[in-house]
Structure 1
Amino acid sequence: MKEFFINILQFFGLAWWVEIVTDSPRCTYYFGPYFTAKEAEYNKAGYIEDLQQEGAKGIKVAVKRCKPGNLTIYDDSGDRFDRNAKPAFSGQM
């Protein structure tokens, strides 16, 4: 029954996820979905430990409601980029 409610939350983008961003390798990982933020918080330590054992550096963690399209996003461009930047669009052609 809990899985049913999690699926509903996930459908509407209201499920809780653990988002982990690493500097090396330059990746964003999503772990979830979870029914509550407390449940996600409880599980995040295991994900961090696994990534540290794999050699990840510069680990930043957030627990948030979202609907990730991909569970792992890898930046292989080698360029530095701001993951929080908003695209700027111009109405001019």
Structure 2
Amino acid sequence: MDVVDLTFSARDDLHLNIPRAKTPTAWITMGFHEDLNQAAVIALDGMLKLMREIYGYGRKEALALASLVVDLNITQIVNGVKGVHAVLPDGAIM
């Protein structure tokens, strides 16, 4: 990659307690913790909140749907901190 163009926007209407990102192909929520299981719980919880905000699902419905369409990826294992990203591909929910 020679050139990368990034655009950042500050949103006063969002109150996030964990990082999330929108890529051209998916939504991603992130969890970081010393314990890998806790990192996964944080990432998944963030995804369930996102699914409730975007699609209006209750927590139980979001969890049931997430078990089918959300992938958890281990993204960091250095410095004692583990990272997990929950990925919801575009088009997975119609």
Q: Which has the higher contact order (CA 8 A, sep 6+)?
A: 1
What TM-score results when the alignment is normalised by the length of structure 2?
Answer: 0.31
What TM-score, normalized by structure 1, do the two folds share? 0.32
Larger Rg: 1
